[in-house]
Copies of this chain bind each other. A is one copy, B any other.
Amino acid sequence: MSKVFFSVGMSLDGFIAPEGMEMAHAHDPNYKGWLGQWMALHQWVFRQKFFRENLKLGEGGETGQDNTLLEETFARTGVSIMGKRMFDGGEGQWPEEAPFHTPVFVLTKQVRSPWERPGGTTFHFVNDGIESALRQAREAAGDKDIRIAGGANAIIQYLNAGLVDEFTIAQAPVFFGGGVRLFDGIDRHKIALEITEAIHSPLVTHLRYAVTKR
């Protein structure tokens, strides 16, 4: 059966995004600072061959362990699920050929017809909760896995509901000092973890966990 996982970048002090950045406009006085933080968090990604090819940024890029991990995460993902804020933030940012290339289920109260993009990404808007979205995702994913893409709120809802099998944190050696915390609202009584892997390159530590009790 498909596994349910998430894979996100996190600062050493536990943040995955500057607070308010997702919905801000580029002329917001804070935007440049936020973008700098976000770039530092994901610095390891931008130089990888897979990332450059997937976003059509051109030839070249690194082909080592970090690139292999990006490729593997992409290859296993049959469907993504994301929260409304992540979708709203991305809608104006993703290129026309959105980088998912799979069905994407968006948790939202908005009623909207599926939005098909060139390159295989189709956004489906789910109005009846996380379990319904997951059922639909399982049907669409086939033998592949289901990625809870984000944001933190969607990830925590799935974790606390006992629906996540495993996850990877790409922990960057940076501090945010504030922003959106990954694990705010976690219900510690419901979850037990097992360390699966911890490997690092100069710019990131990949921490992989299996959820053993839910």
Q: Please report A residues at the B interface, Cβ cutoff 8 Å.
A: 12-14, 169, 171, 173-177, 181-183, 186-188, 191, 193-195, 197-205, 207, 209
Contacts and interface: CB of A to CB of B under 8 A. Distances in A.
Given A175-B186, A175-B188, A177-B186, A198 B198 contact: yes
Contacts of A13: 14, 181-183, 186
Nearest to A183: B13
A199 B182 CA distance: 22
Contacts of A177: 186-188
A200 B205 CA distance: 12
A202 B197 contact: no
25 contacts: A12-B183, A12-B209, A13-B181, A13-B183, A13-B186, A14-B14, A14-B181, A14-B183, A171-B207, A173-B194, A173-B195, A174-B188, A174-B193, A175-B188, A175-B193, A177-B186, A177-B188, A194-B202, A195-B201, A195-B203, A195-B204, A195-B205, A198-B198, A198-B205, A205-B207
B195 A198 contact: no
A185 B32 CA distance: 22
Given A207-B171, A209-B173, A195 B188 contact: no
Nearest to A207: B205
